[in-house]
Structure 1
């Protein structure tokens, strides 16, 4: 019988063999500190959970119906010693757990620059961080190295024991940048920049992927992260430069289109303004950048004339993503009431002006001067565009 019981447990052992313990055995100092925080918190909670479970089993066994030797005291209702134990022990655990969590939350803040390379080595002024700009595309990862003027697709490399400064954004929908061996996952959001400071301490090839579902090609959003020596990383940079590929704004707009399971690709040169344009959603020629829109808003906006400001901003990128609206870019002017085919605009100290019927060709977003060149007036009205020509 014992033989059959042991045999029945074998499938459970096989299932455990498929577990990946990289989170509990990482190769980066930040991930190692996060692991320690998880272990400490788990042990502190088990100090309460385990005794309660053991006491529950012991009480159920001692006071079972068949145990006639158990003391029966139906009038018992209070014990000072037991009350102290029940309340003091969990309170101490909560205090310790709160203190550890508070310190870990601040010390492991992904926006916080690293204070150490490893447990026995502090960061010095000579340890210059390697900046890597990360862009989550549909459905692939683009890595830009501003210091070297190169980029790579679906492959990331970094020197061992050198601080890493990741600046992370997305081209369309929310994703999550995650290398379990390096650090915790950080969200990538369009129009926003997330930060992650980390370091890899052991050479090797590690798995990176998106931890946030983002559509049909999500399962292919995986990449290899190479932890290299300084000499190996220099060779990797030279390999990228030898590829001869260029990554300018036109090439990026082609790369941005949804595609899955793309092979690793290198770019020998990158447009210096590309990441800023991606972050501000203005890679396409003639589109107003978010920073320019915010500059206008910071000055108080432009009233009804500001409606035209929204036309150059198409956050869901109909044309770039091949939506049902067709290849021609089309935008919607928000906040405009359309009675029939006419728009009525009210000017300050003037009578209503009724515009002619609109031409329902795709609105391209024209008519505003660049921020800094335009001075707001008492009544500044810019007609809705009907032309397809670029301004």
Structure 2
């Protein structure tokens, strides 16, 4: 009886430890668009093979332990000398190779397919949105509509969104799990990601690449709207949101947390961080969290090397109060 109680307690403890990291809302398995669905299908395919391997391995383990256990009749049994089995060697070498092939082929096909507009949307004109990551906020620029948002992005449903990703500072990772996989943002270069939302809804996005103390709060919202609501939101922003100035933008790029902001123009008018020749906007002297705050290098392409003195912004600090137009589009 004591043994059974001990076994039950151990099983309960192990279950709690194994399941303690499981959330009730597994967004990846609730895809809201064709890109996320393709990734979920790939994950499910991998899980099937993983389950098959686990079942076979543990089944063989249990069978071998039971079959070759010590018994009174074979207590003094000495197995004969073995020199290996060619058949068994071929089997347990070939099986992993076949499993890797079974996983590799659909993975490669899916990854290449995700680089293009999702199937079924080839005849729908995409909307281009430039995504600029900075410590620790997300900046979204709509060059065709001439507006810019901070820490939220509105998109129309059933429309391919061509996200052009770059960074104004350190490397980050752009991820909206309900709509697709993650992709890195890097300074002075550009990556591309197509996403589509099947229907209106609010989807959580975040940075998944550790880049300092403010990393955990680097989140944003993707608001998928009907085409009518999206067009109305664009019109409202153009009529009511303030203009973004170059001075204000340089303040936004300082390492801070911000609320939502909306502007009726974009920073692409004076800088594109994906351009290899664009100025550097890093602020190493403002990272004071690790004892050694870093050296300041005055490169020729640093924005602070401009000739006009009014670009020196080190006396200003953004506190993240959301001033500058707060249009959530909800």
What TM-score bracket applies, with the shorter chain setting the length? 0.7 to 0.9
Instruction: Find out whether 1:290 has 2:277 as its counterpart.
Output: yes
Contact 1:245–1:266 (8 Å) recurs in 2: yes
Contact 1:330–1:364 (8 Å) recurs in 2: no
The Cα shift of 1:251 comes to 2.2
The Cα shift of 1:16 comes to 6.3
Distance in 2 between residues matched to 1:210 and 1:51, nearest whole Å: 38
Moved more, 79-88 or 184-193: 79-88
Structure 1 spans left out of the alignment, 5+ residues: 117-121, 281-288, 292-312, 324-328, 334-362, 367-386
> Which residue of 2 is the match for residue 59 of structure 1?
64
Distance in 2 between residues matched to 1:239 and 1:159, nearest whole Å: 15
The change in CA–CA distance for 1:234 and 1:197 in structure 2 (over 3 A counts) is same
Q: Per-residue displacement from partner, 1:67-106 (whole Å, max 9, x unpaired)?
A: 6379975245455654453233333223322322322232
Match among 220, 230, 235 for residue 233 of structure 1: 230
Question: What are the equivalent positions in structure 2 for 1:39-58 lying under 5 Å apart?
Answer: 39-58=44-63
The change in CA–CA distance for 1:388 and 1:102 in structure 2 (over 3 A counts) is closer
Q: Per-residue displacement from partner, 1:215-263 (whole Å, max 9, x unpaired)?
A: 2222221111112121222233234334331113222112222221x22
> Which residue of 2 is the match for residue 100 of structure 1?
106
Contact 1:151–1:240 (8 Å) recurs in 2: no
Match among 251, 265, 269 for residue 269 of structure 1: 265
> Which residue of 2 is the match for residue 200 of structure 1?
197
Contact 1:174–1:214 (8 Å) recurs in 2: yes
Structure 2 spans left out of the alignment, 5+ residues: 289-295, 312-330
> Which residue of 2 is the match for residue 87 of structure 1?
93
> Which residue of 1 is the match for residue 241 of structure 2?
244
> Which residue of 1 is the match for residue 36 of structure 2?
31
- By relative contact order (CA 8 Å, sep 6+), the higher-ranking structure is 2
Moved more, 150-159 or 59-68: 59-68
Q: Per-residue displacement from partner, 1:167-216 (whole Å, max 9, x unpaired)?
A: 11111111111111111111111112111112112321111111112222
The Cα shift of 1:3 comes to 9.7
The change in CA–CA distance for 1:68 and 1:130 in structure 2 (over 3 A counts) is farther
The Cα shift of 1:115 comes to 4.0
The change in CA–CA distance for 1:155 and 1:364 in structure 2 (over 3 A counts) is closer
The TM-score with structure 2 as length reference comes to 0.76
RMSD: 3.6
Could you say what secondary structure the match of 1:23 adopts? helix
Larger radius of gyration: 1
Instruction: Find out whether 1:143 has 2:149 as its counterpart.
Output: no
Q: How many residues align?
A: 296
The Cα shift of 1:314 comes to 5.0
Contact 1:207–1:224 (8 Å) recurs in 2: yes
> Which residue of 2 is the match for residue 153 of structure 1?
150
Contact 1:246–1:268 (8 Å) recurs in 2: yes
Could you say what secondary structure the match of 1:246 adopts? coil
The Cα shift of 1:140 comes to 1.0
Contact 1:157–1:226 (8 Å) recurs in 2: yes
Could you say what secondary structure the match of 1:279 adopts? coil
Bigger proportion of residues as helix: 2
